[in-house]
Structure 1
Amino acid sequence: MSNTEPGTARWRRSLRWMALGALVMSGASCAALGRTTFKEPDVELREFAITGLGLTGGSVDVVLSVYNPNGYKLDALKMTYRVDVDSIKLGEGALDGRFIVPQKDSSIVRLPIRFTYAGLGAAGRALVMSGTVNYRVRGDFTVGTPLGNFTRPFDRRGRYSSVAGNGK
C-alpha cells in the first residue's frame, strides 16, 4: 500500500491540510466581499451645545447624526475626531464608548470638546455677528458588522447656523 492511498496517515494529513487551506481561502474571500459591500455611514453635524464656561475657555458637545445605509446594524466600537470652526481647530478627542446605529437608520452621537477662548475667538465672533459659521468634522470610526470590523475615515464640511438650530 502506498503512503498517498486513501486510508493512510499521510493521506489523512494531506486531506486535513487541504481542508484547512480551503477554510482560510473562504474566510479571506468573505472578508474581501464584506469590504466591497460595506457602505460608509454618513456623518452630519446637528448642533453645538455649550456644556461649561470658565475664565480661559469652556467645553462644548458637538452633536452628530450618524446614518447607516447598510442592511445590518453597525456596532460602533471607537471613534476619533477633530472639529474645526472656520479653519480654526476647536478640539479633538476619542470616543471609546460603544453606540449602535440601526440598519437604514440614524443615531445621535455627542462628542465632548474642551476649548480655549483664544482658539475660538474669530469663529465665535463670526457666529455672533452673522449667526452662521463654517465647520469641518473629521476623524475615523471602527464598527463591528456581521462581515467583520472596519475602520474608516470620515470628513464632513458644512455651514452651521445658530438661527436655524441645525448644521445644514
Structure 2
Amino acid sequence: MGICMSKTGIFMNPEVKVAGADVKSAGLSGVTLNVTLMAGNPNPADLPATRIIYFLSKGSDGASLSDGVSRQKVTLKAGDTTRIVVPMTFKFWGLGAAGKSIVTRGRTTIHIKGEITFEAPMAPGGTATSPFEDTVEVAMESLMGSGR
C-alpha cells in the first residue's frame, strides 16, 4: 500500500485483491467471467473509480487471452472494503492447452492482472491507481452452461 503526502494530508492507495472468478456465461465464441475484487479504502474520503483495466492470460504458459477496460460506476466508501464484480471476456480460440486441460482435468487456470484508477483529490495529481493480480481456477462445470 502506497502512502503519499499532499496538501490535504496523508493519502494511502486502496489495496485491491482478486477474491475469485465465476463463469457468467459461456457460448460458442467465448467465456465471460465475473471476477470479484475486494478493494479496501483506508482513507477518510470516498474514492470513485474511473476505470478498471484488466489482462487475462493462461495460467499454464502465460499466453495472452484478452485485455479490456471497464468503466463501471463504483465508489469505495471511506474506511471500508468494497466488493467489485467485473465482467471479463475471452475467446475460446485463445485457450489452446488450457482448453485441453478443461477437457482432461475438468478445470484450467486463468491469470488475472490489472489496475483500478480512482478519483482521489487527496492524492498528488488528483488520481490514484491500485494494481491487482492473482491466478484463479475455472471449473468445467461452470463452463458447461451454468449461465449465472
Question: TM above 0.5, one fold?
Answer: yes
Name the structure 2 match of 1:65: 37
Deviation of the 1:122 alpha carbon: 1.6
- Asked if the contact 2:111–2:135 (Cα under 8 Å) also holds between the matched residues in 1, the reply is yes
**Whose RCO is larger (CA < 8 A, sep 6+)?**
2
List runs of 5+ in structure 2 lacking aligned partners: 143-148
Deviation of the 1:77 alpha carbon: 0.9
Aligned pairs for 1:31-110 within 5 A: 33-34=9-10, 37-54=11-28, 57-71=29-43, 72-86=45-59, 87-102=62-77, 103-110=79-86
SS in 2 for 1:70: coil
Name the structure 1 match of 2:146: none
Q: Return the index of the structure with the highest Cα Rg.
A: 1
1:96-125, CA deviations, whole angstroms, 9 ceiling, x for partnerless residues? 22212223212222223141x221132133
Aligned length: 131
Identity among equivalent pairs (%): 16
* Counterpart-to-counterpart distance in 1, 2:31 and 2:139: 17
List runs of 5+ in structure 1 lacking aligned partners: 1-27
1:47-68, CA deviations, whole angstroms, 9 ceiling, x for partnerless residues? 13142412xx223133122221
Letter in 2 for 1:30: K
Deviation of the 1:132 alpha carbon: 4.7
Deviation of the 1:131 alpha carbon: 4.6
Q: Which is helix-richer, 1 or 2? A: 1
How does the TM-score come out when normalised to structure 2?
0.69
* Counterpart-to-counterpart distance in 1, 2:100 and 2:116: 32
CA RMSD of aligned residues (A): 2.8
Residues 160 and 118 (structure 1), Cα distance of their counterparts in 2 relative to 1, 3 Å cut: same
